[in-house]
A and B are shown apart, each in its own frame.
Chain A
């Protein structure tokens, strides 16, 4: 892509600022369902996004025509849009000092997936699918591998240059059991790929992909014979594959600076968080410590520069329960500082691909480990339920009233794990829920997870997000089960 940088610098018109972001992404998906392999699908997506600021206006133009002529047309179109909007922008973009990146990033990738043949990958996925057939009550099994390699070159008018490449690995296994007049679905880490990391085949080792089939199937059978989760107010112990969703919906989204500034109000929504709350608002109990952590090894949204070129640095978002800073990049920070001069942010302005402009996103957003062992947390609960693996999520447009469901529940009575229960759900209000955080698991309970499917933005964008968390105990939560 070096030639593209030369091309961009030669082609760019005069402007207050411009950037070119070129993305090439190659994906391969293979899947096996009930021991029958489905046709492989691979994709190579390539294109360029031009951003141009002139006279306070801002224009973006994206094209899959990566030739010199294509880039020239994109610059011209971006300039037209900057001119059309110059007197009508929500913010005078001359006021923002855009970052000047210099450097790069490369994912860890100890065992490159590309070095393994398609036939070998199918063999592995076939094996995982077959290993889940442990009983006649298992009526559906699906296993898959989704590998992605992304390369991005970002250059700016003031000499900035960031070249980053990522390898992503997303295994999946879902098993359905039918018996006892019911059907239950159990997955390895969520039906929407909760275990996803950067890297190659070593990610599959960490996911225990090759050996997880019997466990997932066994738990599906347990669930189909289990009774419904009881209703009532009780303690809940959320494991990392549910914590990731709890963090995502009720900490991540409400802290996105563009939501706070109102950009998302027509679509994803606003936020109960306002600019005056940073530095003073007790978001959760003193046990709550949340980081923006772009540097966690292999976590799904690790990177060195965001898509405006700002260097990514670890920051406390919430420390000892106190809300410190929002999730917003250079442009949003500049806008917010017109309303509150001391507002901070983090470098997390990102786009899903070359054909969308960057907006404020979560990246790696983690709850830091505490000091409690899992045994200690279980022992501390007289009446409660341990919940694993998100299956349902819904929250209001201010990110306050939520209701979440899990695949797998297990009662805790008198400090001991008891029977498995199905369809465990709970609901609450973000503003009070995090203050009921009573125990935070130690590093032994900490797990690095994420999702490939965080949707937001107009136009819509689905982006990769990382969430790592320990097990956490919450008190006096409204819990309920299914209809039968």
Chain B
């Protein structure tokens, strides 16, 4: 496929007369999606898709058009050239964009990660065997994903990853379940089997009589998955330059010095350790690391090219939403095996669900507990709990409320598959937080 892309790029990325720059952003994936319910297949879908977005620029004017491609080099070149020329003709009708910013250096990059992925029948058989007798529901998604960029200055970027992620829940009944996942580039059925054994063991804990919690404040342990849910919420407007400059960032209090996170909290957009492409759709190449929060204090923001131009700062290669794609929270020092003892009495929260801001400027979030959450007493799991709604400030939770972060930060791939498979990830440790507020 890379050869096809290079041929397409060479044909399209030649600026016609009167055009300053032509760029091409390319995306493709070939994915097997296998959806399970009750341990059996609900839908098995193969998707083969590729698309290209071509942009033309003249002075401060730019127009962009995206089209799907067939995979036939000659047909695709003709289609993209036609789109490019139509956009060039349209430029006269496009107003000048004084915040248009394009890369001033051409930086080519390559990342290729080969994989050893299972066939669809292999996954179906593995589930039939290892999940037999369980109420298993989930999604396997696997195959190669490509992102690429080219422009008429000669820049070429290629990012190709062959990977899979498999996320599933084993239900005991009602809404009681244990959620598990297995992701990587080399499928190992034995590893899948081990994770299924662990899920079966954990679901056994849900058989204990369920505890009903009253609204109030609780000492809680968030697993890395739950911390990542909170961080993903914070990523919605929390780290972008535009939301800061327009006064709607949930971290305004932090920026204005009116609040401070715990000194053990450090956050960074860590491209070098993530799985996201190093480049974005305009061709900006991202730095290895952008510090966002350092020892509880603001250390930086993510600036899209447009915001960078508007507010006169350096672009960080952020996407248009200025949300991180490889957000990493630094680990702490609490050993995982000491978590329950350190928690003492409280609530073990495995997963959170459906978060939103209840007061964005106060960084107050609401959401639900989900899956295998337990009340804890004397350092022991006591009883599964019914789902609880929370409403609390991230600044409080990870400020004065933070007791400890675990010593291991887990890298959690974004399993989102809207339009295409996501290539983002979040790295997070577990956290013990005092005074977490359940409301309903």
**Interface positions of A (Cβ within 8 A of B):** 36-47, 58-67, 70, 73-74, 77-78, 80-82, 84-85, 88-91, 117-119, 122, 126, 139-140, 176, 178, 182-183, 185, 261-263, 265-267, 269-270, 353, 355-357, 359, 392-398, 401, 403, 405, 423, 425, 427, 429, 455, 458-462, 482-484
B188 at the interface (CB under 8 A from A): no
Q: Are A81 and B44 closer than 8 Å at their CB atoms?
A: yes
Interface centre among B50, B65, B72, B359 (most CB of A within 10 A): B359
* A480 to B124 CA separation, bound complex (whole angstroms): 49
Q: 9 nearest interchain CB pairs?
A: A483-B362, A37-B95, A458-B139, A459-B417, A183-B247, A84-B121, A60-B45, A39-B62, A482-B359
Q: Are A394 and B367 closer than 8 Å at their CB atoms?
A: yes
Whether A394 contacts B306 in the complex (CB less than 8 A), given A89-B41, A403-B389, A459-B141, comes out as no
Q: Are A64 and B68 closer than 8 Å at their CB atoms?
A: yes
A478: nearest residue on chain B (CB-CB)? Answer: B440
* A67 to B167 CA separation, bound complex (whole angstroms): 34
Residues of chain A with a CB closer than 8 A to B120's CB: 80-81, 84
Q: Are A459 and B93 closer than 8 Å at their CB atoms?
A: no
Q: Closest CB of chain B to A305's CB: distance in Å?
A: 20
Residues of chain B with a CB closer than 8 A to A483's CB: 359, 361-362, 364, 393
Interchain Cβ contacts under 8 Å between A and B, 8 examples? A40-B90, A42-B66, A45-B67, A81-B32, A126-B95, A394-B354, A396-B354, A397-B175
* A117 to B90 CA separation, bound complex (whole angstroms): 10
Residues of chain A with a CB closer than 8 A to B375's CB: none
Give the interface size bracket for B toward A.
Answer: 35 or more
* A61 to B306 CA separation, bound complex (whole angstroms): 38
Out of B41, B70, B179, name the residue touching A90 (CB < 8 Å). Answer: B41
Whether A398 contacts B387 in the complex (CB less than 8 A), given A39-B64, A427-B440, comes out as yes
> Main SS of chain B's interface residues?
strand
> A-facing mask of B383-402, CB < 8 A → 1, else 0?
00001010101000000000
Q: Are B41 and A85 closer than 8 Å at their CB atoms?
A: yes
Residues of chain B with a CB closer than 8 A to A425's CB: 358
A29: nearest residue on chain B (CB-CB)? Answer: B64
Q: Closest CB of chain B to A404's CB: distance in Å?
A: 9
Q: Closest CB of chain B to A186's CB: distance in Å?
A: 12
Q: Closest CB of chain A to B387's CB: distance in Å?
A: 5
Out of B72, B99, B135, B366, name the residue touching A65 (CB < 8 Å). Answer: B72
* A41 to B320 CA separation, bound complex (whole angstroms): 13
Q: Are B65 and A42 closer than 8 Å at their CB atoms?
A: yes
B357 at the interface (CB under 8 A from A): yes
Residues of chain B with a CB closer than 8 A to A398's CB: 175, 387
Q: Are B46 and A266 closer than 8 Å at their CB atoms?
A: no
* A392 to B138 CA separation, bound complex (whole angstroms): 28
B334 at the interface (CB under 8 A from A): no
Known pairs A40-B64, A394-B358, A459-B47 / 15 extra A-B pairs, C-beta < 8 Å: A38-B99, A62-B48, A67-B75, A70-B71, A78-B46, A81-B120, A139-B247, A183-B361, A266-B169, A355-B47, A394-B355, A394-B356, A403-B391, A483-B362, A484-B361
